[in-house]
Structure 1
């Protein structure tokens, strides 16, 4: 079998099963695990999968530029964001991460809602400028232009002084076993810091993020309490999260 044929079959198996193991692939193709690891390394370099210990997971499609991500599955993001906005109660302190799905979330906040929003995203802050009853507290730091958020030591230090009711965490990958991930190291650090200061952490899990992974781990799936997904999301995709105690809300 040609290497290109084997790689194509690996990708087909990954798409069908959501995960591949090097040992199983080695036995299935009757080649060494070193050969399989080389295949996975090359496929990862092409952005076609995300290598993890012992195998690979689907690579998240949510790691392209902010402008490109903005229109990726926009219909699904809006439905999920609307349901997420309904989880906010008046008087709460709400931390909102940067991202294209959270950008949709704030469009569904009524002008009569009185809350305090803490964010490290200038675009989220500007999007709430015309909400008269929403106090906005900005977390400052170095601007990470790929995601248009503040990152770095100063940002994490400021997060330490917050106690919030809810944190809407943006991720590029969410997987029951591989956990929560994103495409940048410093982003992973500040997301983890935010989650540690919230009574409840929610992920708005648009389809391209579900059961996929990116290079930098934010933390175990236990960091979050709730995930909001599309109504038509297959039950077999959600059952591993439910088994781990995550509340799944369908939008």
Structure 2
């Protein structure tokens, strides 16, 4: 691939990370090339599974989210490091809300080891199981409809239940993060995470580098509502600028 084409492909992906769906004519205008050139570029990016073609344009390809049991096996060191780095930020909290996922389960393991005499409101069985090793932690489980792939409870009951509580911090993972905010592959999880965020004084997102510059189905927050992002790599380009503009504190971990 020529350097010019490589730069153009990167520019297209940057544009789509800010505006997830764009038409060929708009991309050609922004990049100052012909629509024929953009169409060829989009076909090549689609062949690499980086985008999906739409009628007259393209959108960022949404990542396929493996079931939780498979996610527990991937990027274990990175997720464990993210969990370790997140705990000190929560040291003054008395009440936490924790979302589901492999990285939040790693966080729950560290919380059980390092924190005492707190209340954690959860909707994930793997999170609750990890916390249960510490008898001083009170675990409050939200009710709802069980999702077997995620090992968590979702739905209207879950949202109503969480709405009756408040927390010092809420902490969630994400299937994807883009300049527009964190998102989840499950719409039901997105509803739960958005409620946790509304009911907490501060909010933290945990996401490893594989989630960068992607969009998933349910965006549950703007970056302006997120206080801290903990990750194993530094975001670049439009994502980095969006975090800076929103005033999100970035905590990086080394693995």
Q: Is the 8 A contact 2:172 2:205 kept in 1?
A: yes
Looking at structure 2, the residues matched to 51 and 200 of structure 1 have their Cα atoms a distance apart, in angstroms, of 38
Unmatched runs of 5 consecutive residues or more in structure 1: none
Structure 2 partner of 1:67? 69
Partner SS, residue 208 of structure 1: helix
Alpha-carbon distance in structure 2 between the residues aligned to 1:50 and 1:114: 48
Match of 2:82 in 1: 80
2:226 aligns with: 224
Match of 1:244 in 2: 246
The structure 2 residue matched to 1:117, chosen from 107, 117, 120, is: 120
Supply the distance in 2 between the matched residues of 1:90 and 1:240 (Cα, whole angstroms).
Answer: 28
Q: TM-score, normalised by structure 2?
A: 0.79
Deviations 1:112-131 (A, max 9, x none): 52211000011111111120
Question: 1-side partners of 2:217 and 2:82: how far apart?
Answer: 25
Structure-1 separation of matches of 2:122 and 2:171: 10
- Check whether the contact 1:78–1:101 (CA below 8 A) recurs between aligned residues: yes
2:31 is equivalent to residue 31 of structure 1: no
CA gap of 1:85–1:111, structure 2 versus 1, over 3 A, is: closer
Q: CA deviation at 1:187?
A: 1.3
3-state DSSP of counterpart to 1:166: strand
Which residue is 1:233 aligned to? 234
Residue from 95, 98, 113 that aligns with 1:96: 98
Q: TM-score, normalised by structure 1?
A: 0.80
Q: Could you tell me whether the CA contact under 8 Å between 1:50 and 1:215 is conserved in 2?
A: no
What is the CA deviation profile of residues 12-43 of structure 1, one whole-angstrom value per residue up to 9, with x for unaligned ones?
A: 8259854445422586463398x68x959x94
SS in 2 for 1:219: coil
CA distance in 2, matches of 1:197, 1:51: 38
Shift of 1:146: 2.1
**Aligned 8 A contact 1:77 1:101 in 2:** yes
Q: Larger helix proportion, structure 1 or 2?
A: 2
For structure 2, the residue ranges without an aligned partner over 5 or more in a row are 17-21
Q: 1:157 to 1:222 in 2, by over 3 A?
A: same
Matched position secondary structure for 1:132:
coil
Cα–Cα, structure 1 residues 234 and 217, in superposed 2: closer, same or farther, change >3 Å? closer
> How far 1:57 moved relative to its partner?
3.3
Output the aligned Cα RMSD: 3.4
**Corresponding residue of 1:150:** 153
Task: State how many pairs are aligned.
Answer: 237
In the TM superposition, what is the alpha-carbon distance from 1:72 to its structure 2 partner? 2.3
